[in-house]
Structure 1
Amino acid sequence: MDKRIKLQQGDITKLQVDAIVNAANSSLMGGGGVDGAIHRAGGKQILEECIQIVNRQGGCKTGEAVITTGGNLPAKYVIHTVGPVWNGGKRNEEQLLANCYNNSLKIAANNGVKSIAFPNISTGVYRFPKEQAAAIAVKTVDTFLQSDQDIEEVIFICFDDENYRLYEKLLG
């Protein structure tokens, strides 16, 4: 396992990193869970940039990612990615979730991001099984870091105990 991968429990909106990842919805207009928390803490500048992205490209597809300023957050950037809604694993959900992590990391690398934090994408209202989601997240990030030397730190930040324990087990 790459030593640049770290685990924390807490609030992603408080992290002092170059970029945090937002588990967004395809409209990019904020919502519940981590998405709502990031928009509330980051202020209207994030929403205004999201509106510009929507006007330019019509939202964000599942598995894709876009970048905005961090607004009032300690993070310089927010990378918004749209995780898949779990449909029993029959609609390519695993690959789409892996794409969220890969595409977020690509955007981070292209924008000079040295430190990035990920929430538990798709495990809330999108009902992706937490254990499976954690395994995909860790494997995808570890694989990406094998060919990238620019990113210095990737933090998985878990809001709840259950996700934290799952990641703890995987990261050993």
Structure 2
Amino acid sequence: MISTFLVEHSWAVPIVFALLLAGCVLLGTVLLRAGDRGEQVTRWLAAAAVLAALALTLTPAGAQPERTCAVQFAWPSLGGVETLANIALLLPVAYFATLLTRRPVLVAAAASAGSVLIETVQALVPAIGRACDTTDWEMNTIGAVAGALLAWSIIRVRAGLAAAARRRRG
């Protein structure tokens, strides 16, 4: 599955992560300029990001993990494959949702709560073969906050540029 691919190609994970960030910035900039059409596309991208996150976390993995949740609050290696994958999981969800709502704090909080729900389902439904881990929630939340902040910064820069253009015109 995807985790096997990521482990076998761990050198590519930071590159894919950087491309995800660059793609979000580029898409966000274009979508904000596109008006109503951009908002419609952003809505579809947000929905696709949510569906992808759910598919990656709640589809059966084939393994039979323990029925307990690993509770740990150690800071994992930021260059680790699983760490970057967990950060990247909710980053686009929060990014596109913030572009739509212009509410980064609410979006980041909702995405973090969504991660708690995902981890709870993983703990309570052994048939999907997923392991519950508080570190996953922690890294998902970091990704959600990063996505919301990235979108908010693009919104603010764009607003500043528009205000400067209006002042120049008179």
Q: Return the TM-score normalized by structure 2.
A: 0.33
Larger radius of gyration between Structure 1 and Structure 2: 2
Which has the larger strand fraction? 1
- Judging by fraction of residues, say which structure has more helix: 2
Q: TM-score, normalised by structure 1?
A: 0.33
